[in-house]
Structure 1
Amino acid sequence: MWFTKSIEDTLKALNVNPETGLTSEEAVKRLKQFGPNRLEAKKKKTVLQIFISQLNDWLIYVLFAAVIITFLMGEYVDAAIIVLVILINASIGVYQELKAGKAIEALMELSSPKALVKRDSHTKEIDSSELVPGDIVILEAGRIIPADLRLIETANLQTEESALTGESVPEHKKAEDVYEDPNTPIGDRENQAFMTSVVTYGRGTGVVVETGMKTELGKIAHLIDNEETTKTPLEKRLNDLGKMLGKITVGICVFIFVLSWFQGRDLAEMFLTAVSLAVASIPEGLAAIVAVVLSIGVTSMSKKNAIVRRLPAVETLGSVNVICSDKTGTLTMNKMTVTQLFTSDGLIDLDDDQQEKISNSAKMLAKGMILCSDATLENGDSTGDPTEVALLVLGDTMEIDRKDLSKNTRRINEKAFDSDRKMMSVLVKEEDGDYKVFTKGALGSLKKVCTKIFSDGEMRDISDIDFEQFSNAASKMSDNALRTLALAYKPATKETQPEEMEQDLVLLGLVGMMDPARDEVKPSIALAKNAGIRTVMITGDHKNTAFAIAKDLAIAQNIDQVITGPELDEFSDEDLRRNVDQYLVYARVSPEHKVKIVRAMKANGNIVSMTGDGVNDAPSLNAADIGVAMGITGTDVAKGAADMILTDDNFSTIVKAIEQGRNIYSNIKKSVIFLLTCNLGEVVLMVIALLIGWASPLIATQLLWINLITDSLPAIALGMDNGDPDVMNEKPRNPKENFLSNGAGLQAVLGGLFIGLICFFAFWYGYYEMGYSPSDKNVPEEVVKNARTLAFMVLVFAQLFYSLGLRNMKKSIFEVGLFSNKYLIGAIVLGILLQVLVLFVPILRDAFKLHMLDQKGWIMAAVLGLLPLAAHEFYKVLFIRKK
């Protein structure tokens, strides 16, 4: 029971020095001993279980009934073919499910949380799975606690433990507490922090005491059964479409069977034909195909620095018309550099190498900034806020020995930063034993609590002229797109409490720092604008600073397009909704403002993407249609709330993700339209022939074979099509649009009718070339076989070739590139080879009841098979000309 042990006993039991942490060698040994720090994954389905689940469908049950009937009738070959088709279809389904599962697992690995630990006397960030008992973990606001810890140091630390306790109110933590009662509830253990809890305030240090399944969360995981995987809205929509089409098709098949009964046909044969038509016509593999396309798409996106955490986000990406972006790190390089200092002694421009002008005030300013920083910087590797890292670099620039400063000063207490005060304070004990409070924050906030100023090496009362000089200096820095940060201090005692720290302070100085815009951002903003996407910058910077960056990036043209948080507060919700679309830059905003901005934009019908990195950004990330977290600077809370994570914190990656999201949706739509068109063609062929009293154009085994060849590989290959380079010239997709919108449904109907009619003509021609009519009585069996063979070949050729035309709804196949989708070409070639194989191998030809075509038959099959593609291409040419 670690919570019953003192800090000293805990560290002794784990054999670790909190100042140095574990050595790398010891960490490796313990990792082998205790295993990775991760919860055991849910028990996966075996391949056999997945295979059996593919057979768990009422249509498959009907097919099995058909197998039994055909076997009892002595039609052993037909029974064998039906069983073979069922098994092959199930095998393809297994492959698709395994493929999708592996892709999602890869994404989960990419988005695993990080932990800040001390090893080999250095602070470093590692994957949380590498943590071992004895590791010293550093906690700060926004971090998800990566393992169960015994706290050894706390400074106003609060954690939210609702995942374990159900209480959403943050718990205060005290490292020095020890509990004698071994039954102390989790919620009362104030000296511990638990895996997946969130640091909401303050900071602390803890030693890892339990990892993986031995944590409190791991104990709960032992009790959890495998959960059913929920379907995405996209999959539900596809399932609903499939059910609707299924009902229509089954109705048609019942009608065919009843009609055949009245027409006096062979009922056993027509039963098999009707069932096979139902199976062939219903796109039962549509949801699986879409899952594969989505998983392949998001895996590809992850390689381009965009990790999609929730698959429905891919669908939403295509509809985004507003990108609300942070400035720092997303639009800019996230490498802050202090370029100017201002004290009562005047302005120092570090870019101009004015080292000789650095006064004692400036050195004291730099020293205070370092002591107020929670960042680390060692050998070029840094952790923490870029602003705070820049302050450490400032110390190095001014030749301050940070290691010596850290060794000779100790932080006693602190008052953490929050967005309301816009300040943070620390109480430190210096080398000479004196205590001082250092407070850094916005100049406007510090002005309210400063009563003195450090000037000419001593403190004196601050005057209005001093305030005016500092305000003018800050304003000039902001006009030059510099971020300003002020520092104050005061003598203190060991007993100074956090609530006393920010009173009667001495103003020391002001620093101005620059975070230059990324080179690739400006072209990306222009690309987004061309695609009908408005870029809005939301930042905590001053109005002038924000506008300077926004103007440089061509986000805003004039200052009237900029509004500040305090100005927003004067708007009612209705006023904000009416005016929100006219502003392109929001400056000096709080996290609460971000939520209001997003809600107002959405109320106007916009589909909004919002970026964020902090704990307080989680509400706005949740409120947005697409929440985008920063992978490098983002806190674990922000990543957990986001739909997408940028591993490079780059705005241009958002635009690329939107482009790829549009292409993924377009590819899914191609697959849907292809399947609907092909299946409709089969229904049209069968219904017309049977209605006018002709023999069935296709028998059961032929229908199932067509379904096998055309409904799997070509549909998947269309879903893996290359992206359309012109997709960003189109406006965002209406989120209410479905797969059949914008004429796609009509195109599927017309395509299906045309294919059906072409095959109907081929069936008639099969009789005609042998001197018969389908209406004749006592037609020789070989003539019927010839007609069916021709219809069979034309239907397969027509569907395979037609897939080429669906690669782009506007461009011709030559503009797109006839051979640019190698997967589709491969699927078509394979389909044709299998079809020809069935006809040329005698045993297969007899099994499928086919007749070898003559030269005219082959020419007719090729020509008629190409006609639907040619007609579709002709339609596109007319459509393009009309546009």
Structure 2
Amino acid sequence: MWFQKSQEEALTELQVEGSKGLSNEEVQIRREKYGENKLQEKKKKTLLQLFLSQLQDALIYVLLAASVVTLFVGEYADTVIILAVVFLNAAIGVIQENKAEKAIEALNKLTTPHSLVRRNGETTEINSTDIVPGDIVILDAGRYVPADLRLISSANLQIEESALTGESVPSDKFFDKVFKEDKIPLGDQANMAFMSTLVTYGRGEGVVVSTGMDTVVGQIAKSLNEEVDGMTPLQKRMDELGKTLGKLALGITILMFVIGFFQGRDLLDMLLTSISLAVAAIPEGLPAIVAIVLALGVTRMSKINAIVKKLPAVETLGSVNIICSDKTGTLTQNKMTVLKYYVYDQIRNVDINVKSIEVESETQEELIKSFVLCSDATSNEQESTGDPTEIALIVLGNRHGMTKDELNRLYPRIDEKPFDSDRKLMSTLNEEESGYRVHTKGAIDNILKISDKILIGGEVKPLTEDMRRNIMKASEEMSNAALRVLGVAYKDTEERISPEDMENNLTVIGFVAMIDPPRIEVKDSIASAHGAGITSVMITGDHKNTAVAIAKELGIAESIEQAMTGAEIDELSDEEFAKKINEYRVFARVSPEHKVKIVKAYKAQGNIVSMTGDGVNDAPSLKHADIGVAMGITGTDVSKGAADMILTDDNFTTIVAAIEEGRNIYNNIKKAVIFLLSCNLGEIVAIFISVLFSFAIPLLPTQILWVNLVTDTLPAISLGVDPGDDAVMKKKPRDPKESFFAQGAGVRAIIGGLLIGALTLLAFTIGLAERGVSLKDSMSAPDDVIVYARTMAFVVLATSQLFYSLTMRSETKSIFQVGIFKNKYLILSIIAGVVLQFGVITIPFLANAFKVHALPLNDWIIVFGLSLLPLIANEIIKIFMRMKED
């Protein structure tokens, strides 16, 4: 590992002199060996490949087989309808997926266009793609790091690495540090600089140790290229359902044909009947209905600031039970903020929600004044530049009416002693009316070492040992609460002094304590998620104590025992880690590889995992999670490209709203599936009993297809856009292994199907009886009698399904509790279905096409009475279910 080598060892291994760099000849040799310094792009799928991938589904296979059979027997209209459904479903999927998979493209955008390097003893600017291992790269403030470097010199060098580590504070870099340990978190590798990070302060030089795909960012790119099983719970359920229905359809077709053959029926009629029954077993419109419901869900979610890139991700959110969230910028505001200030024996809180605050005392005024004057950052309402810690101090001054511009005008800086990582201090010399004043800020313990006086109540007093201990005690308490402490002191002098004489005999004023604060709305969102049975987990590159403090405040964790570091993760095997994963709520000082390992461990325990993030370091875990959620405002292009969903408001609350939407969408799809299967089972029951007992077949193939593709579809789509259950977030997440038929749904589907089938056969029997023919003798009945009886059965089958859709809106609540007219689309669908059914049997040319007959008023009363029975039966079942729950 390069962080374990000294700068001399690194230069020797890479065969380069730091003062001269590589020769042009050597550069050419290494470029041929290592290639260009850029990231490889994943090979994109063509539109044809995307389209074909949408057809790889068991239910689609069955529908395609049905279309071939209908084409073979000359039912061309049925063939066209089935193929239209298949191609519509595939087209929707292609449109969605064509917008995704932008992660590697975004990673390439992060690489810098030009870099300063030393070659042949001269400094020159080159394209970053031309850099090779062994190049000497020169770094200064504002410049991106073009490759992974082992630093060989540094002066006050600070590099902002939040995109890789998640830390909001720039990392101090030291070229002369050497680590003995084998594994050091990225954020602690102080002698290294990594591709795509930003130099914010100081300067340095480094020798290139890795380029392109061998860099840390390159490793992220490789993980994004890995194929990940993207099947969502809904896709798995639909796949299982498709296989089951396919086997059922094949079995029914063979069984019916065999029975008809032994009964001596016309083989062509039996073939058509068997095919129609097979088609009846498969809800042709189901794939399209699911796609439409998901698409409508995507539209609704966009209105709550959640942009979904892949349709199935809508449903996946509804089954999430683990939310792994990055800390910086997601749970926190991604900006250092002063929360408290200390002047001797007084701790005051700073209200971060107030823009303008009055100064409470002269000592507080001196404290803020010194901090502002001893800072190089700038900040106003439009923008901020500089070190985040100094920006927090400038903001503190602005809120107290002491702006940097005004203070610099009144007390101009004439000299300074820059920050040094060994001293951990910075000092400036500013003009005063009666002379000069030194302002020094830095680590409070170092401030105390160079001070002999203290400002108390506006008066300067000697600094005693007891005072030092009290100040350090207050400082340690704040540090233990994960606050970053920064002290300040001053010294007045009549004459201008040199930087060497600035930092002695100072007067301590006090210190401030700051932190990257949590987002205001996040705590309530986490509580809402907890109430819905969802566990929130924090994953960060920040220090353990800081992470736990934020986690406690947000209600994610209760104690530090629930936190684990990346180093501790490395000590466990994947199996051991997966067994212990549920004991922890905070993971600190983690690398991108750790994040993926965490997500995989949760998934290994059967969880449905969501990962939120905004940095480059989040991209692999976003990709491996069941659903990756990127931040739209602060998120990098890389994280957005790897995610399934993007939050346009960067608000954690939006995730909870999206989960609620996802749960309702799944419930609605389940309602549609159970409804369609109940209706199709009714058709199967009516025809199967008729064939089995040698009765005349009560329904023709065209009549079955009419009911399936017209009458069923409108109510099913309407159920798919049902307003949903207000109490859905009071329930635990659905078991990802749970089928559509769990919790009694399968039993209700069977009962409903048996009732619809039996009543259809009963209507057929009544129609025969009105013409003086019994069901037993129906095989020899005249054609006009069969047509009339089939009309009765046809109308009952259609209208019973329409009315039955009303009771499918809730598994336990009555139609009055959910509100009969709350789903206006469903009411309109039922009305439209009844009107269409009435038209089919009364308009002459349609009646002739479907071989039906107009019914008199008394028969309409009979068929409507029979059609209401499945609805009434299901409502009675619900009464017993509610009694059982109580």
Question: So what's the TM-score if we normalise by structure 2?
Answer: 0.66
| 8 A Cα contact 2:329 2:614, kept in partner | no
- 2:197 equivalent in structure 1: 201
* Residues paired across the two proteins, number: 719
Structure 1 residues 255 and 322: alpha-carbon distance in aligned structure 2, compared to 1, 3 A threshold: closer
Structure 1 residue 201, shift from structure 2 partner = 2.7
Aligned sequence identity (%)? 43
Question: How big is each residue's C-alpha offset from its partner over 1:469-516, in whole Å with a ceiling of 9 and x where there is no partner?
Answer: 55433345468x783243799xxxxxxxxxxxxxx9x99984323677
Q: Which residue of 2 aligns with 1:150?
A: 113
Query: Does residue 650 in structure 1 map to residue 651 in structure 2?
Result: yes
> 1:733 deviation in Å?
1.2
Alpha-carbon distance, 1:279 to partner:
2.1
1:752 aligns with 2:753: yes
Q: What are the Cα deviations for residues 218-260 of structure 1, in whole angstroms up to 9, with x where unaligned? A: xxxxxxxxx9x98756335413421321222122122222322
Q: Residue 853 of structure 1 is aligned with which of 855, 868, 879?
A: 855
User: Which region of structure 1 is more displaced relative to structure 2, 571-580 or 729-738?
Assistant: 571-580
Deviation at 1:813, TM superposition (A): 1.4
Out of 360, 369, 372, the residue aligned to residue 366 of structure 1 is: 372
SS, match of residue 401 in structure 1? helix
- The 3-state SS of whatever aligns with 2:197 is strand
The amino acid across from 1:266 in the alignment is D
Change (3 A) 1:610 1:62: closer
Post-superposition shift, 1:644? 3.8
Partner of 2:216: none
With over 3 angstroms needed to count, the CA separation of the structure-2 counterparts of 1:664 and 1:430, relative to structure 1, is farther
Secondary structure, counterpart of 2:781 in structure 1:
coil
CA contact (8 A) 2:63 2:284 kept: no
Task: Quote the Cα distance in structure 2 between the aligned partners of 1:295 and 1:394.
Answer: 47
What is the 5 A alignment of 1:336-485?
Answer: 337-341=337-341, 353-354=359-360, 356-357=362-363, 363=369, 365-367=371-373, 369-371=375-377, 377-381=379-383, 389-396=391-398, 397=400, 398-401=402-405, 453=450, 471-477=472-478, 483-485=483-485
Q: Distance in 1 between matches of 2:822 and 2:652?
A: 30
Whole-Å separation in 1 of the counterparts to 2:45 and 2:761: 52
Quick one: distance in 1 between partners of 2:709 and 2:72?
A: 21
Equivalence for 1:662: 663
Q: Distance in 1 between matches of 2:138 and 2:419?
A: 14
Contact 1:607 1:625 in 2 (8 A): yes
Equivalence for 1:701 = 702
The letter of the residue matching 1:729 is: K
Matches within 5 A, 1:80-95: 82-91=75-84
SS at match of 2:404: coil
2:415 and 2:852 mapped to 1: Cα distance? 90
Cα deviation, 1:678-707, whole Å, max 9, x if unaligned, reads 111111111100111111111121122112
Q: CA offset at residue 860 of structure 1?
A: 1.8
Farther-moved stretch of structure 1 (600-609 vs 720-729): 600-609
Q: Equivalent residue for 1:724?
A: 725
> Is contact 1:453–1:508 with CA below 8 Å preserved after alignment?
no
Residue 854 of structure 1, CA deviation: 2.1
Residue type at the aligned position of 2:737 = K
Q: 1:49 deviation in Å? A: 12
Bigger shift: residues 779-788 or 507-516: 507-516
CA distance in 2, matches of 1:617, 1:41: 22
* Distance of 1:455 and 1:310 partners within structure 2: 65
Letter in 2 for 1:730: K
Displacement of 1:640 in angstroms is 4.5
How many angstroms apart in 1 are the aligned matches of 2:134 and 2:873?
66
Distance in 2, Cα, partners of 1:566 & 1:62: 56
Q: Which amino acid aligns with 2:275?
A: V
Which residue number corresponds to residue 293 of structure 2? 293
1:3 aligns with none
Q: Is the 8 A contact 2:96 2:309 kept in 1?
A: no
Provide the rounded CA distance (Å) in 1 between the counterparts of 2:578 and 2:102: 38
Distance change in 2, residues 1:319/1:781 (3 Å): same
What is aligned with 2:806? 804
- Give the aligned residue type for 2:256: I
C-alpha distance in structure 2 between counterparts of 1:541 and 1:49, whole Å: 48
Q: How big is the shift at 1:823?
A: 2.3
Amino acid in the other structure paired with 1:789: T
The 2-side partners of 1:384 and 1:97 are apart by 51
Report the counterpart of residue 673 of structure 1 in structure 2: 674
Show CA shifts across 1:696-732 (max 9, x none).
Answer: 1111211221121144332222221112111122122
Letter of the structure 2 residue corresponding to residue 758 of structure 1 = L
Aligned counterparts of 2:53 and 2:568: Cα–Cα separation in 1: 56
CA separation of 1:642/1:697 partners in 2, compared to 1, >3 Å: closer, same or farther? same
Distance 2:851 2:784 in 1: 9
Q: Which amino acid aligns with 2:811?
A: M
Shift of 1:96: 5.3
- When residues 564 and 94 of structure 1 are mapped into structure 2, their CA distance, relative to the original with a 3 A threshold, is closer
Aligned ranges 1:772-851 → 2 under 5 Å: 772-776=773-777, 778-851=780-853
The within-5 A match list for 1:12-411 is 66=70, 69=73, 82-91=75-84, 144=107, 146=109, 150-151=113-114, 199-203=195-199, 234-325=234-325, 330=330, 337-341=337-341, 353-354=359-360, 356-357=362-363, 363=369, 365-367=371-373, 369-371=375-377, 377-381=379-383, 389-396=391-398, 397=400, 398-401=402-405
Match of 1:22 in 2: none
The match for 2:496 is: none
Question: Cα 1:879–1:467, aligned 2, differ >3 Å: closer, same or farther?
Answer: same
For residue 22 of structure 2, what is the aligned residue in structure 1?
Answer: none
Letter in 2 for 1:353: V
Query: How big is the shift at 1:845?
Result: 0.4
Distance 1:312 1:49 in 2: 18
Cα distance, 1:518 vs structure 2:
5.7
Moved more, 590-599 or 251-260: 590-599
Matched residue type, 1:151: H
Contact 1:305–1:648 under 8 Å retained in 2: yes
Deviation at residue 768 of structure 1 after TM alignment? 0.9
Q: Any idea what the Cα deviations from partners look like across 1:363-407, whole Å, max 9, x if unmatched?
A: 454355544xxxx745435689976753442353532129989x9
DSSP-derived class of the 1:307 partner: strand
CA-to-partner distance for each residue in 1:292-317, whole Å, 9 max, x for gaps?
22232233223212334455544443
**What are the Cα deviations for residues 539-573 of structure 1, in whole angstroms up to 9, with x where unaligned?**
7478599558836x6666xx657655579949975
Q: Is the 8 A contact 2:633 2:649 kept in 1?
A: yes
In the alignment, what sits opposite 2:877? 875
TM-score by length of 1: 0.66
Is 2:276–2:704's contact at 8 Å kept on the other side of the alignment?
yes
Q: Is the 8 A contact 1:686 1:697 kept in 2?
A: yes
Indicate the residue corresponding to 1:24 in structure 2. Answer: none
The one-letter code matched in structure 1 to 2:660 is E
Q: Separation in 1 of the partners of 2:484 and 2:293?
A: 48
State how far apart, in whole Å, the 2-side matches of 1:728 and 1:451 are: 54
Does the CA-based 8 Å contact 2:293-2:721 persist in structure 1? yes
Q: For the residues of structure 1 that align with 2:631 and 2:581, how far apart are their CA atoms?
A: 25
Distance (whole Å) between structure 2 residues aligned to residue 760 and residue 170 of structure 1:
85
CA distance in structure 2 between the aligned counterparts of 1:510 and 1:746, rounded to whole angstroms: 69
Amino acid at match of 1:269: D
Other-structure match for 2:155: none
Structure 1 residue 735: deviation in Å? 1.4
CA contact (8 A) 1:671 1:716 kept: yes
- After superposition, what is the alpha-carbon deviation per residue over 1:779-815, rounded to whole angstroms, capped at 9, x for unaligned? 2111100111111111111222212211111111111
Read off the aligned partner of 2:405 and give its amino acid letter. Answer: D
RMSD: 5.7
Once the two structures are overlaid, the 10-residue window that deviates more, 714-723 or 392-401, is: 392-401
Gap change, CA 1:570 and 1:619, over 3 Å in 2: closer
Aligned partners of 1:484 and 1:513 also within 8 Å = yes
